[in-house]
Amino acid sequence: MSCVLVIEDEQAIANIISFNLKREGYDVVCAYDGVEGLKEALSDKADLILLDVMLPGIDGFEILKRVREKSSVPIIMVTAREEERDKIMGLDNGADDYVTKPFSVRELMSRIKANMRRSGKGAEKPADSREKYGPFELDRALQQISKDGEPLELTQREYDLLCYFFASPSKVVSREELMEKVWGYEYVYGDLRAVDVAMRRLREKTESDPANPQYIMTRRGGGYYLQI
Ligand code: CA
């Protein structure tokens, strides 16, 4: 399994990235400050490093420099929007790529995959990556969910939502948790009603009678859960 080291002092961001990477089949190690980050980076375990620039202790540039002295592991620098200079410095110092905050989780995942591919390290998927959840079948390799053998036409968000429920069927998940974990960055600006709208659309695509759902259930005042 390919391992991604996430060096990021904002825990909420690190958690979202980590959650998404694990779902894509990567092993993840998180470090929340520069000192710990440098130690992990030099331990040679990671196949790719996601490196925040502004870090307590040792900053991202110093970590980049120290790692490059001994390793060519792909490094994606994460910069804040106003730090235009950082991008150039990062690239000059041997970073492979950079993303600018705020980034979408989707964009970040595709950058990570592209950089892994370039360095010859793909996420290793099992030969048969299909998983069964009641009438649903999830094929992570194809990013496809079927119900009773029929592929569902889902948007990326709907796919992410269902995957989130598959991870812990029958657990009641609050709208706040869905916003934070599935919408990720956007939850800061988001409206919880967006969750209800998305869940309604998801029901329309997955339930034979969306008004009387059998699988995607509402817990009044509590949130949603998957019944399979
Ligand atoms: Ca930071």
Residue 43 identity: S
**Looking at the predicted structure, is the pLDDT value of residue 81 above 70?**
no
CA of 32 to the centre of ligand 1 (A): 9
CA of 25 to the centre of ligand 1 (A): 25
**Looking at the predicted structure, is the pLDDT value of residue 123 above 60?**
no
**What backbone torsions phi and psi does residue 190 show, to the nearest 5 degrees?**
-75, 170
Mean pLDDT of 3-22: 93
Boundary residue ending a domain (93, 118, 143):
118
Tens digits of per-residue pLDDT, 195-205? 888 899 999 99
Burial 6-44 (b: 16+ CB within 10 A, else e): bbbbeeebbbbbbbbbeebbbbbbbbbebebbbebbeee
Indicate whether 9 and 112 sit together in one domain: yes
Boundary residue ending a domain (92, 118, 144):
118
Q: Which residue has the higher pLDDT, 86 or 68?
A: 68
CA of 6 to the centre of ligand 1 (A): 11
Q: Which residue has the higher pLDDT, 102 or 60?
A: 60
The count of domains in the chain is: 2
What percent of the chain has pLDDT above 70?
88
**Looking at residue 169, what is its pLDDT?**
85
Q: Which residues surround ligand 1, an ion (CB under 5 A)?
A: 9, 52, 54
Indicate whether 30 and 84 sit together in one domain: yes
**What backbone torsions phi and psi does residue 198 show, to the nearest 5 degrees?**
-65, -40
Indicate whether 148 and 54 sit together in one domain: no
14: enclosing H helix or E strand: helix 11-23
- Asked whether residue 73 is assigned to any structural domain, the reply reads yes
Indicate whether 113 and 135 sit together in one domain: no
Mean pLDDT of 91-113: 82
**Looking at the predicted structure, is the pLDDT value of residue 91 above 90?**
no
**Looking at the predicted structure, is the pLDDT value of residue 86 above 70?**
no
Indicate whether 48 and 83 sit together in one domain: yes
CA of 29 to the centre of ligand 1 (A): 17
For the record, the structure tokens of 29 come out as: 């190690």
**Looking at residue 218, what is its pLDDT?**
93
Alpha carbons 52 and 30: distance in angstroms, whole number: 12
Q: 130 falls in which pLDDT band (50, 70, 90)?
A: confident
Q: 34 falls in which pLDDT band (50, 70, 90)?
A: very high
Mean pLDDT of 121-133: 65
CATH of the domain at 150: 1.10.10.10
CA of 122 to the centre of ligand 1 (A): 27
- Asked whether residue 125 is assigned to any structural domain, the reply reads no
Indicate whether 21 and 101 sit together in one domain: yes
Indicate whether 20 and 111 sit together in one domain: yes
Q: Which residue has the higher pLDDT, 113 or 192?
A: 113
173 is in which domain, residue-wise? 130-226
Q: Which CA distances in Å does 150 have to 7, 41, 107, 128?
A: 41, 44, 28, 18
CATH of the domain at 15: 3.40.50.2300
Boundary residue ending a domain (71, 86, 118):
118
**Looking at the predicted structure, is the pLDDT value of residue 121 above 80?**
no
- Asked whether residue 174 is assigned to any structural domain, the reply reads yes
State the SS3 of 106-173: HHHHHHHHHHHHHCCCCCCCCCCCEEEECCEEEECCCCEEEECCEECCCCHHHHHHHHHHHHCCCCCE
- Asked whether residue 188 is assigned to any structural domain, the reply reads yes
- Asked whether residue 40 is assigned to any structural domain, the reply reads yes
- Asked whether residue 193 is assigned to any structural domain, the reply reads yes
**Looking at residue 157, what is its pLDDT?**
83
**Looking at residue 143, what is its pLDDT?**
81
Q: Which range is least confidently modeled, 14-28, 55-69, 107-121?
A: 107-121
Indicate whether 89 and 186 sit together in one domain: no
Q: Could you give the residue ranges of the DSSP H alpha helices within 55-104?
A: 60-68, 84-92
CA of 108 to the centre of ligand 1 (A): 16
**Looking at residue 208, what is its pLDDT?**
93
In the DSSP assignment, the letter for residue 186 is G
Indicate whether 178 and 214 sit together in one domain: yes
